[in-house]
Structure 1
Amino acid sequence: MWIVPHEGDVVEVAETDREFVARFPHSAPPFEIPDSLAEGDFAFKFDDDTEIRVQRSGESFDVHVRASGTVHVDGQEIDLGEAGVPLITGLEVQRDGDGNVTDVIPEYTDKTRAE
């Protein structure tokens, strides 16, 4: 893990093999700590609207990603869910003669991998 501190941040300094290394900014962030964190949870918060949170859910963990900008996911294979879970790939919007929306029909796929 690498964290590049901002100019003026308070950092922890460690000596490793006669070299000094600055690690982990300790300056207070300009936003609040998430109030819903529980024992064993992790949260990486970058601003009010951007965070990655890992929370225990029984014997497993849930991962939540929220961003104030665009979220990019790249990889050789991207698993989108368990087999059999239908994914919405689009919406068909039906309108009347005046342009008013009369119905919205979701379009599904049975694929669970990005192609």
Structure 2
Amino acid sequence: MKIDDYNLTNDAKFLISSMYKEYLSRLKDNSPKRSAVLFGNSESIHRLMPEWSKEDTDYTVEELIDKGLLKGHQVLGGYLDITLTTDAVAMLQMSFKDKIDIVLDYATKIKNLIIP
């Protein structure tokens, strides 16, 4: 499956592709895969899209968790232990061929759709 097969909102497409770009950057910097998929809490995710409210960020994280592309623990005020799933990594590898420039191009196109 590719990213467009998941019936995601543009916000979710942007967030997951931004997370994947970060994942690839971490791997390039020799981080182990187990560490590269870890994104921390809602605040860490919010830094990927500072134009969004924290509530919108959490809403999009929830969408991606519901689709099985992220794992995370919901707590009062957000999420903890947000992680890319192996299904997400596999889907993103098929969609972007592990090429950061392709991911960046896609994320830019999606961002232009959600932030005019």
Higher-strand-fraction structure: 1
Higher-helix-fraction structure: 2
TM-score (structure 1 length as normaliser): 0.23
TM-score (structure 2 length as normaliser): 0.23
Q: Which has the higher contact order (CA 8 A, sep 6+)?
A: 2
**Which has the larger Rg?**
1
